[in-house]
Amino acid sequence: MGSHYDVVVVGAGFAGLYAVHKMRDELGLDVQAFEAAGGVGGTWWWNRYPGARCDFESIHYSYSFSEEIQREWEWSERFAGQPEILAYLEWVADKLDVRRAFRFNTRVTSTTWDDKAARWIICTDDGATCTARFVVSCVGGLSVAKEPEFPGSETFRGELYRTSSWPHEPVDLTGKRVAVIGTGSTGIQVIQEIANEAAELTVFQRTPNFAAPLGNEPVDLAQRRWNAEHHAELRAGSRQHMIGVPYDPPSGPALAATPDERRRIFDKYWDRGGFRLLVSTFSDVIFNQQANETIAEYIRERIRERVKDPATAALLCPTDHPYASKRPPFETGYYEAYNLPHVHLVDVRSAPIEAITPTGVRTSSKSYEFDVIILATGFDVFTRPLLNLGLRGRDGLKLEDRWANGPTSYLGVQIAGFPNLFVINGPKSAVALYNVPLATEDNVNFVAAALARAIADKTATFEATYEAEEAWGRLCEGILNLTVIPHSKGSWYMGENIPGKARAAYFFSGGAPLYRAICAEIAHVGYGGFALDRVSAPIPPMVRLDPAAALLLGSMLARGMKPLDELNLDEVRAVAESLRELQLPGPAMRVETVEAPRARIYIPDRAGPLPVIVFYHGGGWISGSLDLADAPCRRLADENGAMVVSAHYRLAPEHSFPAATDDTFAALSWVWKHVSAYGGDPGRIVVMGESAGANLAAVAAIRARDAGIPLAGQVLIYPPIDPEASTASRTEFADGPFFTRAIGEKMWGAYLGGAELTELAAPSRASSLAGLAPALVLTLELDMSRDEAEDYAGALASAGVPVRLHRFDGLFHGVFNMSAFIPRVREMYASIGEFVATCKEQITEAA
Ligand code: NA7
């Protein structure tokens, strides 16, 4: 066996160059790297086809880790072409002196885990073998070309090129009859570039694409200087953006805008390039098919404006998939190319290509003759590059077998069963919708920190657990299913461009800020979801999130939301009020206002007397309002056929304990005495609250019992029960999601204002819970107050109180106010509905 290394890196693209630098120069490890190509550059070494260029601006589509590199390299165009990007990567490689770590023209053919020695055995196509403690795959997601489905390529007597392995020497197309097969990002770049060069150009299109103008232009000296001076702020903005570029945030939902407003916004971002048309226009185009259709039709209109022949324009207009459900391409003069007399468009959807013949292309309806055929038919993405490494993990497990039903991974970084193998931008990573160089740096940094930890702790094996992989897979799939992406057909996004390949979520679509936050949390909790020397750390809360809750959290992070505990009082109050934007609107109904005690009474149009819900809003006793509770109260009234009295109470710290409990109990007493005047039934009162309001409701139920006020029920929606509770959930969810222990402690502190803790603040301290109204306690899996609320439910039951406890998995504190974005909040309403119905029945039976 050959040499042994700390790390073997495979690939010399953006990822491989940075990984070698990081592992070798920063961690001081002994690194050997392999690259199949003759030089550095990865994608940009291979894809030398005419017109190849990036479609994220080069100032963003470049490394951010080095101040020096960012300052010294100047891009000549907004979106650099392949030669300039390759020159940049070669320059970086020299600057970091990483070339000497690589063996070029060397392909890894097998990678086998040796369990006894806890190391990898790597064989290469030059017959050499070496071993390594860790393997870091930097082989890229789009590096293996798709094999054409049609036979006969080898029989063609003209020149046949694949865009992904284009010759190094110039290809002269002048005076030639040229065919291009494929109209994805690549095909579009080639077609617009060679349209004026070829004598005849025939484009074989199976599916038209939604291409938008790239907006490329030279970068003048002043702009270059500005870019060099401002890279730090540009990068900070990028890392907080969903796709890793500092583009404008969207203007709210398209469906809430008028057609004129939509037009104005689409016009504004139409030709500014990059992914602005997708991410800076409207927030719902990627989630809602109807909203998506507004942008899709806008693009179709623009295509029809530019292509003179209506039949050709119609062929170029996509109608079978939503915009951005396939990777959106960008163009410069692409559509105008079809106005040239020697450029022809052939629809191979209606008449598929059957074969490449010695003289050209044969479709099911016709034969065509060509001098040159260019295949731009795409890639076998994400999985094939890794499968080609010949990976065998623990107990000889073949990666092919592991992935028989589609790819699995944890974060895209590790695959269970393959210890010490790390993947940069692997399947189910964020890279497909995240500016590649930044996604790459994030992954390399994560892996480097993991390696450093393993080395410091003398950990022999570092691997993702199967459970973590499953949880991650569920999250990826769940988020993807909230988007329009699964409505595409034949997209590499879903693995569907390769016949027979498993349809699955091939990437994480929750956006860069959420992905980064999840990775940070995982590292922070000691690599949760990974097993170090087979001892696994628990899967962190963010990986267990409900997909819609995860997406909402991601968009809050993208908006720069600070942790709640870092906010001052006014900011906390503003955040609480802003939650109204996250609520589904409540139905219209009669609303009465009462001044003393201050309350709003929601009265649905039903025959009375109506059962009554007395509702207390949440907000940690320091924030929240009747306005915050407005939409939920309308919905509760409507769904339960009940009158809802939303009661005001004074807020801390201006009015600390016992102001809030006194106010809420006073409101309850008033309701009992006066509600019949409004059509409510004082014999059927359910007291209910959310969060701090639920604490107040629980206390009000105790005070009602003691004062002889009959209650039909109490509904406690994730109540905080006792500030001194010492529970597992308090520790596990101390850092969130969303609601943290620190903000919880601040709220309790403000509410109590130094007062002694009694049953009027912490209901579990009551001398007896017997005789209380039947209770429904709703708790959330990922909430620090979960366990104290469930313990309280247990204590109520032990005291003989009928109790229903309903725990919702994947949700975090506060979601009751986020019904517009988290569909599963409706399950909470359903649970309340069932309980309130039982309360009504019980009372009727008793009567
Ligand atoms: P894409 O986006 O997968 O596009 C491949 C194109 O090739 C697409 O238009 C396909 O049509 C077409 N194709 C594939 N197979 C056939 C057959 N058998 N017959 C006719 N046409 C076919 O790959 P690209 O290289 O353009 O882009 C890949 C990524 O690189 C891009 O998304 C960026 O991230 C960079 P189909 O749509 O399947 O009908």
CA angle 198, 55, 477 (to 5 degrees): 120
pLDDT interval class at 839 (50, 70, 90): confident
The atom of ligand 1 lying closest to the CA of 149 is 18
The average pLDDT across 743-748 equals 97
Q: Which atom of ligand 1 is nearest to the CA of 490?
A: 38
711: left (phi over 0), alpha (psi -120 to 50) or beta: beta
Closest by Cα among 695, 730, 686, 739 to 716? 695
CB of 51 shorter than 6 A to ligand 1: no
Report how far ligand 1's centroid is from the alpha carbon of 348 (Å).
13
Pocket test of ligand 1: the residue of 180, 186, 321 to mutate, having most ligand atoms within 8 Å of its CB, is 186
Q: How far apart are CA 721 and CA 733, in angstroms?
A: 16
Ligand 1 atom nearest 181 alpha carbon: 21
Does 182 contact ligand 1 (Cβ within 6 A)?
yes
* Ligand 1 near 321 CB (within 6 A): no
Mutate to test the pocket of ligand 1, among 53, 185, 192 (most ligand atoms within 8 A of CB): 185
Query: Which pLDDT score, from 0 to 100, does residue 561 have?
Result: 87
Nearest-CA residue for atom 25 of ligand 1: 378
Q: Report the distance separating Cα 124 and Cα 327, nearest Å.
A: 34
Mean pLDDT for 527-532 is 98
pLDDT of residue 430 exceeding 70: yes
Q: Does the beta carbon of 348 lie inside 6 Å of ligand 1?
A: yes
- Between 479 and 148, the more confident residue is 479
**Structural contact between residues 290 and 252, judged by C-beta atoms closer than 8 angstroms:** no
Average pLDDT, the chain: 96
Mean pLDDT of 686-704: 98
- Contact indicator for 792, 764 with CB cutoff of 8 Å: yes
Ligand 1 closest atom vs CA 182: 7
Distance 391 CA to ligand 1 centre (A): 27
How far is the centre of ligand 1, averaged over its atoms, from the C-alpha of 78 (Å)? 25
How close is the Cα of 492 to the center of ligand 1, in Å?
A: 8
Quick one: what percent of the chain has pLDDT higher than 70? 99
The CB of 376 under 6 Å from ligand 1? The reply is yes
The band of 845, judged by pLDDT with boundaries at 50, 70 and 90, is very low
Mutational pocket test of ligand 1: of 204, 497, 501, the residue with most ligand atoms within 8 Å of the beta carbon: 497
- 5 has which bridge partners? 132
Give 470: exposed, middle or buried? Use CB within 10 Å, 0-12, 13-18, 19+: middle
pLDDT tens-place string over residues 800-838? 999 999 999 999 999 999 999 999 999 999 999 999 999
pLDDT tens, residue by residue, 539-590: 999 999 999 999 999 999 998 888 899 999 999 999 999 999 999 999 999 9
Give yes or no for residue 284 having a pLDDT over 70.
yes
CB-ligand 1 contact for 82 (6 Å cutoff) = no
Closest-CA residue, ligand 1 atom 12, reads: 182
The predicted model scores a pTM of 0.96
Which among 305, 243, 596, 274 has a CA at the least distance from the CA of 434? Answer: 243
Distance between Cα 88 and ligand 1 center (Å): 27
As to burial, measured by CB atoms within 10 angstroms (0-12 exposed, 13-18 middle, 19+ buried), residue 814 is: buried
Q: Are strands 119-124 and 129-137 parallel, antiparallel or unpaired?
A: antiparallel
SS3 string, 276-296, reads HHHHCCCCCCCCCHHHHHHHH
Ligand 1, atom 3: nearest CA belongs to which residue?
378
Between the CA of 490 and the centroid of ligand 1 the distance, in Å, is 9
> How does pLDDT run across 239-259, given as a tens digit for each residue?
999 999 999 999 999 999 999
Q: State the distance from the centre of ligand 1 to the C-alpha of 206, rounded, in angstroms.
A: 9
DSSP letter at 41 equals -
Separation CA 594–CA 597 (nearest Å): 7
Nearest to 93, CA basis, from 27, 85, 436:
85
What's the confidence (pLDDT) of residue 846?
Answer: 44
Compute the average pLDDT of residues 607-631. Answer: 97
Quote the percentage of the chain above a pLDDT of 90: 96
Whose Cα sits closest to atom 26 in ligand 1?
Answer: 184
If you search the block for the tokens 């076998």, which residue do you land on?
Answer: 380
How confident is residue 271, by pLDDT bands cut at 50, 70 and 90?
confident
Verify whether ligand 1 is closer than 6 Å to residue 378 (CB atom): yes
Q: How far is the CA of 79 from the centre of ligand 1 (A)?
A: 21
Any ligand 1 atom below 6 A from CB of 543 = no
- Interatomic CA distance for residues 479 and 476, integer angstroms: 5
From ligand 1's centre to the CA of 438, what distance in Å?
Answer: 25
Interatomic CA distance for residues 631 and 837, integer angstroms: 21
- The rounded Å distance from CA 377 to ligand 1 centre is 4
Q: 3-state class of 228 per DSSP?
A: helix
Question: Is the CB of residue 174 less than 8 Å from the CB of residue 37?
Answer: no
Distance of CA 163 from the midpoint of ligand 1 (Å): 11
pLDDT interval class at 274 (50, 70, 90): confident
pLDDT at 229: 87
Give per-residue pLDDT as tens, 346-397.
999 999 999 999 999 999 999 999 999 999 999 999 999 999 999 999 999 9
Give phi and psi for 106, each to the nearest 5.
Answer: -130, 120
Please give the Cα distance from 389 to 399 (Å, whole number): 9
**pLDDT-derived band at 116, boundaries 50, 70, 90:** very high
What's the residue count for the chain? 847
Whose C-alpha lies nearest to ligand 1, atom 10? 182
Q: Is 377 in the pocket of ligand 1 (CB under 6 A)?
A: yes
Q: Is the pLDDT of residue 763 over 90?
A: yes
Binding site membership of 224 for ligand 1 (Cβ less than 6 Å): no
CB of 779 sitting under 6 A from ligand 1: no
CA of 290 to the centre of ligand 1 (A): 26
Closest ligand 1 atom to 378 CA: 23
Check if 318 has its Cβ closer than 6 Å to any atom of ligand 1: no
What confidence tens digit (pLDDT) does each residue in 160-186 have?
999 999 999 999 999 999 999 999 999
With both helix axes pointing from N to C terminus, report the angle between 289-306 and 259-270 in degrees, rounded to the nearest 10.
60
Contact indicator for 73, 96 with CB cutoff of 8 Å: no
The pLDDT, as a whole number, for residue 842 is 56
Contact 143, 46 (CB under 8 A): yes
pLDDT at residue 457 above 80? yes
pLDDT of 841 reads 64
Residue 145 Cα to ligand 1 midpoint, Å, equals 10
pLDDT tens string 6-48: 999 999 999 999 999 999 999 999 999 999 999 999 999 999 9
Output the residue whose Cα is nearest ligand 1's atom 32.
Answer: 327
CA dist 675 and 442 (Å) reads 59
Q: Is the pLDDT of residue 847 over 60?
A: no
Beta bridge partners of 391: 111
The answer on pLDDT for 217 being more than 80 is yes
Residue 129 to residues 116, 133, 134, 421, 478: CA-CA distances in angstroms?
18, 14, 15, 17, 42
Of all protein residues, whose CA lies closest to atom 29 belonging to ligand 1? Answer: 185
Mean pLDDT confidence for 758-787: 98
Ligand 1 atom closest to residue 377's alpha carbon, by position in its atom list: 7
Which ligand 1 atom lies nearest to the CA of residue 164? 25
pLDDT tens digits along 180-196: 999 999 999 999 999 99
Task: State whether the beta carbon of 713 lies less than 6 angstroms from ligand 1.
Answer: no
pLDDT at 844: 46
